[in-house]
Amino acid sequence: MGKAKEASSLRRLVGLFTTSISSPTDPTISTVVTSSKPAADARQLQKVANKFKQSSESKRFRNSRRQAYANIVHRLATAKQFSLIYDILQHHKKYKEISEEGFVVRLIILYGKAGMFEHAQKLFDEMPELKCERTVKSFNALLAACLYSKKLDYIEKLFKQLPQKLGIEPNLVSYNTIIKAFCEMGSLDSASLMLDEMQKKGVEPEKRMEVAVNFVEEMRSKRLKLDVFTFNYMIRGFINEGELEGAKEWYNQIGKNDGAPDKQTYAMLVPFLCKKGDLRFATKVCKDIFARKKLVGAELLQLVVDELVKASMIEDAKELVELGKKTNFCRYKLNMAVE
């Protein structure tokens, strides 16, 4: 099976669960339009917001109570009180820390976690007016806010346009964020291309297969059946990274998921097993070929027989030769001769 067909199958599969994207709500109107809370609850939340603003007058509170900020934003967002979130975070512009990038980054992230990306971006755009330098740190915060807000259709545009416009060079965090977004969108091809770009630019990536594994686990969480092309992709990835145990595990996963390996599975896995010296598992795979009545090239099976003989595993080699003779779907003429 060619790489093009495998990639096509993966795209069809991942297209089944592409994340639907919702637009962040405008905090100036969300309370009026969407809030279903009784007026008494709304008044109570207003009091909570006012008290929080009073507490934020303390520099120590602003700099050390980060979890308190996360908690109140989560509480207000859950109640759909977006205007109160805006009021609290906008209130922080009066403090001198607003000229410090780390402080602004925190506010951008909080907007993102509330699903208020437009306000996160507005604050990012205002940073020069606030006499706050924009570096890759605040750029990464904006990407994260975009991801938190599920603006997955917009994050790629930001990633492509902003660095050149602002003279910012994306770093490992930047790439990890955009790759995570592609995985959430179900675009494994785009994630893989981004990994290639990282390597070209000399940015050391996290393990490539960690991205793929997370992607496949997301598919499983949605109870989608994985096809052999997906398993082959995973096996090939671990082979490319020289990860023997990973390749073996994903081969075993095919059977556990009521699937069946194909010719491509065996063609890439068997030579890798021999190269790594795992002849026990290579023998197991050959027996699977016979048991499943799969047609493969005789040279593939002969490779294992030859390696078994070299390793003085004669009985195992003889067993494969005999199995090749006895198959009723294809008679493999294997031999024990080794130069």
Task: Record the tokens describing residue 53, joined without a space.
Answer: 């603003």
In single-letter form, the type of residue at position 209 comes to M
> Chain-wide mean pLDDT for the chain?
83
Q: How confident is the model at residue 26 (pLDDT cuts 50, 70, 90)?
A: very low
Count Cβ neighbours within 10 Å for each residue of 58-89 and write b for 16 or more, e otherwise: eeeebeebeeebeebbeebbebbbbbbbbbbb
Closest CA to 210 of 179, 189, 232, 167: 179
Cα 103 from Cα 160, distance rounded (Å): 25
What pLDDT is recorded for position 145?
A: 95
Q: Does the structure show a pLDDT above 50 at 333?
A: yes
CA distance 148 to 102: 19
Give the per-residue SS3 of 248-279.
HHHHHHHHHCCCCCCHHHHHHHHHHHHHHCCH
Q: Could you tell me the two tokens for 216?
A: 């496949």
Rounded to the nearest angstrom, the gap between the alpha carbon of residue 139 and the centroid of all alpha carbons in its chain is: 20
pLDDT digits (tens, 9 = 90+) for 63-116: 888 899 999 999 999 999 899 999 999 999 998 899 999 999 999 999 999 999
pLDDT of residue 176: 86
Residue 336, classed as helix, strand or coil, is coil
At 339, the pLDDT band (50, 70, 90 cuts) reads: very low
Q: Name the nearest CA neighbour of 7 among 180, 315, 230.
A: 230
Task: Choose the weakest-confidence range: 21-35, 54-68, 297-311.
Answer: 21-35
Confidence grade of residue 208 (pLDDT, cut at 50, 70, 90):
low
Taking 90 as the threshold, does the pLDDT of residue 144 lie above it? yes
* pTM beyond 0.75, yes or no: no
pLDDT of residue 107: 95
8 A C-beta contact, residue 124 and residue 138? yes
Quick one: how far is CA 72 from the chain centroid?
29
CB 251 within 8 A of CB 269: yes
Q: pLDDT tens for residues 247-306?
A: 999 999 998 887 899 999 999 999 999 999 999 999 999 999 999 999 999 999 999 999
CA geometry: angle 255, 258, 261, nearest 5 deg? 50
User: What does the alpha-carbon distance between residue 254 and residue 256 come to, in Å, rounded to a whole number?
Assistant: 6
Tokens 């027996």, residue located: 287
Q: What is the pLDDT at residue 183?
A: 77
> Which token pair is 64?
């050390």
Q: What is the pLDDT of residue 13?
A: 34
